[in-house]
Chain A
Amino acid sequence: MLKYVGQSEARVDGVRKVTGFSRYTDDLKLAGMLFAKIKKSPYPHAKILKIDTSKAEKLPGVKVIITGKDVPIRVGLYLEDKTFLAIDKVRFIGEPVAAVAAESEEIAEEAVSLIEVDYEELPAVFDPLEGIKPDAPLIHEDLGSYKHASIILPVKGTNISNHYKIRKGDAEKGFKEADFVFENEFYVPHIQHSAIENHCAIAQVDPEGKITVWAGCQSPYAVRRTLATAFNIPLNKIRIISPAIGGGFGGKAGTTLEGIVIPLAQKVNYRPVKLNFKREDIFVNTFVRQAMYAKIKTGVKKNGRIVAEENKFYWDGGAYTEYGVNIARAGGYASTGPYDIPNVKADSICVYTNHPVGGPYRGFGMSEIHFAIEQNLDIVAYRIGMDAVEIRRKNALKDGSATVTGQVLENVGLMQCLNKVTEDIEWDKRERRVSKIKYRGKGIACMYKAPSMPNNVGSSAIVKINEDGTVNLLVTAMDLGQGSNTVLTQIAAEVLTVPISQISIMTGDTDCTPYEWQTVASRTTYCCGNSVKRAAEDAKNQMLRLASLKFGISEESLELKDRQVISKRYPDKKVKIADLAMGLTMPDGSGIHGPIIGRGAFIPPDVKDTDKETGQGDKPVAFWTFGVQAAEVEVDIETGEVKVLKIAAAYDAGKAINPELVCAQIEGGIVQGLGSALFEEMKIEKGKVLNPSFVDYKIPTVGDVPEMKISIIENPEPTGPWGARGIAEPCMVPTAPAIANAVFDAIGCRINSLPITAEKVLKAIKSKKK
């Protein structure tokens, strides 16, 4: 019987958040703090001829000014193509070319305006389809010499920073066997994470040369490693502290501001330097979700069985693709969606453009490709006269199916999700025309996703048992709002039989909390959860050992129950956790063992590289998460406006450690997906972002919420803690295609690009009438 796992425990950070007590980076006030601002490029692609900082330097209150030449280092998580400040060239409008630290933000701002930069404009690339042409201007001439991870395959002398291929079966043969072949194209624009917290970083260098950085970051250890490498300092001389994080969604997964504040801090005599991005900077100067073109060719039998698929994904990677290259890879290894297709040829290509920098965004790659895959499947079904749910049932991955990379799957919950959602949306019931101008329709979309991460990255946790039997839990998985602090505490509570209120969790300090690769990829409950479970078990085993010595009976005959180690057979032989916490005192008064500290570590088992040419491999990812959403919409054919009435969603969480938090995640994902479906798009013209504010870039408000029916399916993931797998990102993946499919169902018009604006719908209705 589980006592804490599987229970909807209240959030452990609830009180501090509702009282406004939580400290985010911008809330920190340090003595002697200086304020930084950046000078930004006005051109999308240009040579830097000269930077004159002399006027700015003379401004009273200016402490230091740096340019790219002061930080001549290339960094990047998967491909080292980025510099913190532009050096010889600028590659997007807004790229930082210089930075100032001054006594106040106002002085820094004025100093920035006094910096003079001479540029020579270069021909630019604004479209990945243009960027791959042989005569396209090169954005990174030195791509061939950049260091990169082995899983990334850049093409030297081009703008292609990663070309991921899948060659499964024989696609050509498959198309010949098909009764029908269809070709469709789709487009997904740039969008922005739009976490409500601004990006902010503070750095300080102490007299011993140690650098401390405070930044709301999803991945303190990855940031530490990147910065240590970049600035050539040993890891013990740099400390990353992440206070509370006001939303991440991938946008705070890498380094951005930290690389600018460190070189400033190194020159201001131990004073801390803070850089706080305003909303406009966040839109332009932090990661955005890459735009993507998809071309899908499908070969299908009369009975609805898909026998061949040829997919091409062209990603608009932006000016630097240090992280974006891995998004192309993820899009590639998931390229068919959750379907069992025997013959596949897929190419997922990341292309440099002179656009803002693409990076990880909730479920990276998956929302984008599923928008194409799931609409394509509906088109195919419609063309061959088959029901949209039926074609999915026919082709869905099931137990024993092989994925596009040849991985044979078990515990696949897709069909259960599909059945639940069709029931909840009442798929078989339709009332299309509700008035002269209002039409309703229903649409469905499936999804799958695996954590996109290197095979061998680790997590760890430390459990300290205190003198009174209470517990301190230390991890570096970050709670971005998803509730990991609560879930990880529940896991420790379950193993240790200690109530939630007697466990304090600490996160996000690389000098104190143990290694965690990153808080991304919906991997935290699974990876860090496993390490917390192991750490708690380690502490428990130490206590069982001591109790066994105390009572002179075997460890196996003892158990941990209600904060006591107790004999299974002789319940009077028992000792409180508190009495073992500092070790065991022997009858002669001597002590042994010392304080109980549990240690747990985890790497997903048996995840291996795939073949570079075919993408095939037994287990390229830790686990797959499956989910389905269905949407009911109402379209106003006079205005083109789409209203989402209802979304039904079902996800296979394996085991919901905290069911209410799982539902909360799914609801949040649906509404974020709804925003991307109906209104979110960064309008970029010749490299300039035209709508970098919440007035011009609308995200969902409380008035946009549809009725939501959420279901959790539980097919245990054998390697997850109590069977749990990640669901945070999958929640938003199928929302947009489900809505697009529902729009088609309502009015017979296919909108093959996001967002589905009233303007596009109206245009489609008009051209259909012709």
Chain B
Amino acid sequence: MKHKIRFTINREVKEIEVEPNKTLLKMLREDLDLIGAKEGCGAGECGACTVLVDNKPVNSCLMLAVEADGKKIITIEGLSDGINLDLLQKSFIKHNALQCGYCTPGMIISARALLDRNNNPSEEDIKEALAGNLCRCTGYQRVIDAVLDAAGKGGGK
């Protein structure tokens, strides 16, 4: 049996019916065609599926879609308005803080959540906030640099 849920996705209100065992990640990717959140492990270990749920970073592969009812969700697709990039997105490009790009949406979303609650993070704060986002390409230093740079430019709230 499908459940009807209503939520805000990237500032738009949506109402859909989902299976009770469907994950939020599957719903985003399959039902809403928002493919920016990725599946890297399907078990909450890699962070590639990170999205903001009521401003908090969440592994969408571990959350059921029905739990999104009444919530406000932001995915990487909702971070820029299609013309202007978010400061973090600009900063990731400037610092070469990405390579293959697969972990990048999750990484940026986690960083966004950090800057939204702390607009002047230390390197340690960044390491803590991104500890759940695995990247196999960059070696992370440039990711740290990118987040620090974005914060310094007023990239927080």
Residues of B within 8 A of A14 (CB): 92-93, 98
A196 touches B135 (CB 8 A): yes
Inter-chain contacts of A671 with B (CB < 8 A)? 138-140
A427 to chain B, nearest CB (A): 23
- Of the candidates B42, B133, B144, the one whose C-beta lies within 8 Å of that of A279 is B42
* Complex contacts, B151 vs chain A, CB 8 Å: none
Given contacts A247-B102, A481-B137, A667-B139, A660 and B96 within 8 Å (CB-CB):
yes
Decide if A587 is an interface residue (CB 8 Å cutoff): no
| Residue ID in chain B nearest A664 by CB atoms | B96
Contacts of A27 in B (CB 8 A): 29, 35
Contacts of B94 in A (CB 8 A): 10
A246 touches B101 (CB 8 A): yes
Whether a CB of chain A sits under 8 angstroms from the CB of B131 is yes
A480: which B residues are within 8 A, CB to CB? Answer: 99-100
Contact of B140 with A196 in the complex, beta carbons under 8 Å: no
For B131, the chain A residues whose CB sits under 8 A away are 701-703
Of residues 25 through 40 on chain B, the ones whose CB sits less than 8 Å from some CB of chain A are 29, 33, 35-40
CB <8 Å contact, B140 and A197 = no
Q: Does A395 contact B (CB under 8 A)?
A: no
C-alpha gap A278/B61 in the complex (Å): 13
Which residue of B102, B108, B140 contacts A24 across the interface (Cβ within 8 Å)? B102
A196:B85 contact, CB within 8 angstroms:
no
Q: Is B60's beta carbon under 8 Å from chain A?
A: no
Residues in B whose Cβ lies below 8 Å from that of A700:
140
Interface size class of B (residues with CB under 8 A): 35 or more
Assess the B100–A18 pair: CB atoms within 8 A. no
B37 & A197 in contact (Cβ 8 Å cutoff): no
- A661-672 near B? 1/0 per residue, CB < 8 Å: 100100111111
Cβ of B5 within 8 Å of any chain A Cβ, yes or no, is no
Give B47's nearest chain A residue, CB to CB.
Answer: A196
Task: Tell me which residues across on chain A come within 8 A of B135, comparing CB atoms.
Answer: 196, 702
B89 within 8 A of A: yes
Q: Which residue of B lies closest to A675 (CB)?
A: B136
- A699 pairs with B96, CB closer than 8 A: no
Type the 1/0 row for B93-125, where 1 means its CB is closer than 8 Å to any CB of A: 110101111111100100000000000000000
Q: Mark B66-85, 1 if CB is under 8 A from A, else 0.
A: 00000000011101100001
Smallest beta-carbon distance A505→chain B, Å: 15
Chain B nearest Cβ from A85, distance in angstroms: 24
Query: Does A20 contact B103, Cβ atoms closer than 8 Å?
Result: no
Query: Which residue of A16, A483, A668, A693 is within 8 Å of B41 (Cβ)?
Result: A693
Query: Which A residue sits closest to B35, measured CB to CB?
Result: A27
* A470–B29 CA distance with the chains assembled, in angstroms: 35
Decide yes or no whether A245 CB sits under 8 A from chain B: yes
Contact, CB under 8 Å: B136 / A249: yes
Q: Interface digits, B44-78 against A, CB 8 Å rule (1 contact, 0 not)? A: 01101000000000000000000000000001110
Docked CA distance A194–B102 (Å)? 12
* Residues of chain A lying within 8 A (CB to CB) of residue B43: 279, 693-695
Q: What residues on A are CB-neighbors of B100 within 8 Å?
A: 195-197, 244-248, 480-481
Given contacts A14-B93, A278-B42, A702-B126, A196 and B103 within 8 Å (CB-CB): yes
Partner of B138, one of A660, A668, A693: A668
Q: Please tell me which one of the listed residues A16, A17, A26, A195 contacts residue B136 in the complex, with CB atoms under 8 A apart.
A: A195
Contact of A196 among B37, B40, B89, B108 (CB under 8 A): B40
Q: Which residue of A lies closest to B104 (CB)?
A: A17
**B142 interface hit (Cβ, 8 Å):** yes
If over half of B's interface residues share one DSSP class (helix, strand or loop), that class is named, otherwise mixed; here it is: loop
Please give, as numbers and ranges, the residues of chain A lying within 8 Å of B6 by CB-CB distance: none
| CB of A457 within 8 Å of the partner chain | no
Q: Can you name the residue of chain B whose Cβ is closest to the Cβ of A660?
A: B96
Inside 8 A of B80's CB, which chain A residues have their CB? 19
Are B38 and A246 in contact, CB atoms less than 8 angstroms apart? Answer: yes
Q: Tell me the nearest residue of chain B to A278, going by C-beta.
A: B42
Residues A1-26 near B (CB distance < 8 A): 10-11, 13-24, 26
Q: Does A482 contact B (CB under 8 A)?
A: yes
Residues on A with C-beta less than 8 A from B92 are 14, 18
Q: For residue A700, give the distance in angstroms from its CB to the closest CB of chain B.
A: 8
Could you tell me the distance between the alpha carbons of A401 and B38 in the complex, rounded to whole angstroms? Answer: 49
Q: Which B residues touch A279, using CB under 8 A?
A: 40-43, 45
Interface contact B89-A19, CB-CB below 8 Å: yes
Q: Are B35 and A699 in contact (CB under 8 A)?
A: no
How near does chain B come to A436, taking the closest CB pair, in angstroms?
A: 25
**Alpha-carbon distance A480/B139, docked complex (angstroms):** 15
The residue from B39, B101, B136 contacting A22, defined by CB atoms under 8 A apart = B101
A23 to B29, CA, bound (A): 12
Is there a chain A Cβ closer than 8 Å to B130's Cβ?
A: yes
Is there an interface contact between B140 and A705, defined as CB atoms closer than 8 Å? yes
Interface: A708 (CB within 8 A): yes
- Min CB distance, A396 to chain B, in Å? 27
Residue A198 interfacial (CB < 8 Å): yes
B51 to chain A, nearest CB (A): 10
Query: Is residue A29 contacting chain B, with contact meaning CB distance below 8 A?
Result: yes
**What is the bound-complex CA distance between A307 and B78, given in angstroms?**
64
Which residue from B40, B42, B93, B136 sits with its C-beta under 8 Å from A11?
B93
B143 within 8 A of A: yes
- Chain B residue nearest to A248 in the complex (CB): B100
Give the distance in Å from the alpha carbon of A15 to the alpha carbon of B89 in the complex. 8
List of A residues within 8 angstroms of B99 by Cβ: 247, 480-483, 664, 668
Closest residue of chain B to A704 (Cβ to Cβ) is: B140
Q: How far is the CB of B11 from chain A (nearest CB, A)?
A: 16
Tell me, in angstroms, the Cα distance from A62 to B102 when the chains sit together.
32
Please determine whether B85 and A699 come into contact, CB atoms closer than 8 angstroms.
no
Please tell me which one of the listed residues B39, B101, B127 contacts residue A702 in the complex, with CB atoms under 8 A apart: B127
For B33, list chain A residues within 8 Å (CB).
29
Separation in Å of the A555 CB from the closest CB of chain B?
40
The winner among A246, A483, A708 for most chain B CB atoms within 10 A is A246
Chain A CB within 8 A of B134 CB: yes
What separation, in Å, do the CA atoms of A481 and B126 have in the docked complex? Answer: 23
A19 touches B85 (CB 8 A): yes
Q: How far is the CA of A711 from the CA of B20 in the complex (A)?
A: 54
Whether A702 touches B133, Cβ cut-off 8 Å, given contacts A20-B77, A694-B41, is yes
Contact partner of A694 (CB less than 8 A), chosen from B46, B85, B143, is B46
Q: Quick check: B140 and A198 within 8 Å, CB to CB?
A: no
Point out the residues of chain A lying under 8 angstroms from B38, CB to CB.
24, 26, 196-197, 246
Chain A neighbourhood of B79, CB < 8 A: 19
A193 to B137, CA, bound (A): 11
Give the residues from 483 to 497 in chain A that come closer than 8 angstroms, CB to CB, to chain B: 483
In the bound complex, CA of A432 to CA of B57 (Å)? 42
A-B contact pairs, 28 of them (CB 8 A): A11-B96, A14-B98, A15-B85, A17-B101, A18-B85, A18-B93, A18-B98, A18-B101, A19-B77, A19-B89, A24-B102, A196-B48, A196-B100, A198-B39, A244-B101, A246-B38, A247-B102, A249-B136, A480-B100, A483-B96, A483-B99, A664-B96, A669-B139, A672-B139, A699-B134, A701-B130, A703-B131, A708-B139
Shortest 3 CB-CB distances between A and B: which pairs?
A: A20-B36, A481-B100, A246-B102
Q: Which residues of A contact B (CB under 8 A)?
A: 10-11, 13-24, 26-27, 29, 193-198, 244-249, 278-279, 480-483, 660-661, 664, 667-672, 693-695, 699-705, 708
Known: A480-B99, A694-B43. 13 other contacts (CB 8 A): A19-B85, A20-B37, A22-B101, A196-B46, A196-B136, A244-B100, A279-B41, A482-B99, A483-B99, A664-B142, A667-B142, A695-B43, A700-B140
